[in-house]
Structure 1
């Protein structure tokens, strides 16, 4: 069963597990379990998508319970009226907080986008990051005798495809577990030495205005056991409270 974070007669939010597709896709024809279908069966009614999280990303995922509410929520996303906050484990020591203002070209899928026109001009992309903790571990990965990691909080101001992954890679601090833009040796090392495979990117918070009542909603998705064991092993337990103390920026974000 999916963990329900919030539910009323108009919308519902769940804590999406890592490795689970939001909906059926012909690009992943072998998959048989999807968030939409699971949630529909769990609550006994149809749900409407308003945004998405990539398959390896966990965290807050919002659905509407009617087409009208879906349209209103989609407009909030399109107009950057929602704020999304992520947590990630990245390679190396991130020394200070900052902002990445680095335009990104559109990423096209070789199969799904094979009939698309040629490469388009780079689109503006802005992400804010905040350092929460660092850790050096006595394991040799690659050419170094030790491995360094940082726990960061990420707030995208724009919503380009794989924006957070690409921006952290641009900073030379790729997100652990990122097979497209990351460090494959570090990915294997994390799985081998710390029993923590997969992408270490979690959509922790979503702030929005309720499309019907007008009230402010702040939704939080707890870290799953994989995250929790790594946080304990790296002695980052004090950072768990950061899930309750997020400083939401004034600028909203659209997507990851």
Structure 2
């Protein structure tokens, strides 16, 4: 990804400014229309992810950059359907894709939504495409079946996600998440050598510098528990397995940062409050965090379903090139190959 010279950190004078106004200020040679064209062509990134919404308000420490060339929007064919039945669908989420659309984006016109599709929208299209292909005489027009969100992954995180396809299935899956009976295991490559341990650090929306994290006095916040197991260490990097007990926003990323071992490629949580971030020399192409295992009981049949997902190609190639010993230590079962509608 080649970037122009407009990439830098948002300082106090930029807090609350819209992305469009920031671009106009940093790129005075461009008109307002020229800045809008950059957004419409998906050349603007905030914290490493494409941003098309000109009215997004910037926060302290956000990093805004511009690509030299446009980036094509993701398409349904990029989504791998791992399992699909009448009640639910399990997919592998690519990086740089939000799970569902924010409420303030629901009113966007269709053309703008196509510039920044969400995972649930692409999955619905992928299911409809598969049905149209398999039953061309029965379905002459593509339709999108309803999907219900029961979990989410951070935009930069890749890996397994389940959606419900009926209201009853959604209720059953949500109940399992609330009762902490869903197995959610992630693989991460971090800087340093963390000890295997259980991290129990409550999280607040603003730890004091605009970022999520523990409060200054250690009191208050939502309970957050992550079980961390170090699998291997080599060349200053470690492969860790993280099992979620709770599912707070950015929980794994924050907890690993609080240990002093941030995730490689981490664009936001790079240092604890009051400390200075150390340079990330890992060369990671993006956030090295992947949802590798997902297990739950089928909400209708009660059957226990477990799915695994290996490292995606971009992270696997980086690990193989940088520290191959870590790749061989990624202890996962075989990829689940059930794909049916």
What's the TM-score, normalizing by structure 1? 0.77
Identify the residue that residue 8 of structure 1 maps to in structure 2. Answer: 85
Of residues 192, 200, 214, the one that matches 1:92 is 192
Identify the residue that residue 94 of structure 2 maps to in structure 1. Answer: 17
Q: Residue 244 in 1 paired to residue 321 in 2?
A: no
Q: Residue 167 in 1 paired to residue 167 in 2?
A: no
| Greater Cα radius of gyration, structure 1 or 2 | 2
User: Structure 1 CA distance, aligned partners of 2:286 and 2:328?
Assistant: 23
Q: How does 1:73-222 map to 2 (within 5 A)?
A: 73-94=173-194, 96-107=195-206, 121-136=220-235, 148-182=236-270, 186-187=279-280, 189-191=281-283, 196-222=284-310
Structure of greater relative contact order (alpha carbons < 8 Å, 6+ residues apart) = 1
* Contact kept in structure 2, 1:176 and 1:186, CA below 8 Å: no
- Tell me how many residue pairs correspond in the alignment: 218
Cα deviation, 1:93-149, whole Å, max 9, x if unaligned, reads 23x3211122222459x99xxxxxxxx92232221111111121xxxxxxxxxxx11
Deviation of 1:156 after TM superposition, in Å, equals 1.6
More strand by share: 1
Deviation of 1:46 after TM superposition, in Å, equals 2.3
Which segments of 5 or more consecutive residues in structure 1 lack a partner in the other structure? 112-119, 137-147, 246-256
40-49 or 28-37: bigger deviation = 28-37
Which segments of 5 or more consecutive residues in structure 2 lack a partner in the other structure? 1-76, 129-144, 211-218, 272-276, 335-341
Deviation of 1:73 after TM superposition, in Å, equals 0.9
Question: Helix, strand or coil: the match of 1:232?
Answer: helix
- RMSD, matched Cα: 2.5
* Contact kept in structure 2, 1:47 and 1:64, CA below 8 Å: yes
Deviation of 1:78 after TM superposition, in Å, equals 1.6
Identify the residue that residue 19 of structure 2 maps to in structure 1. Answer: none
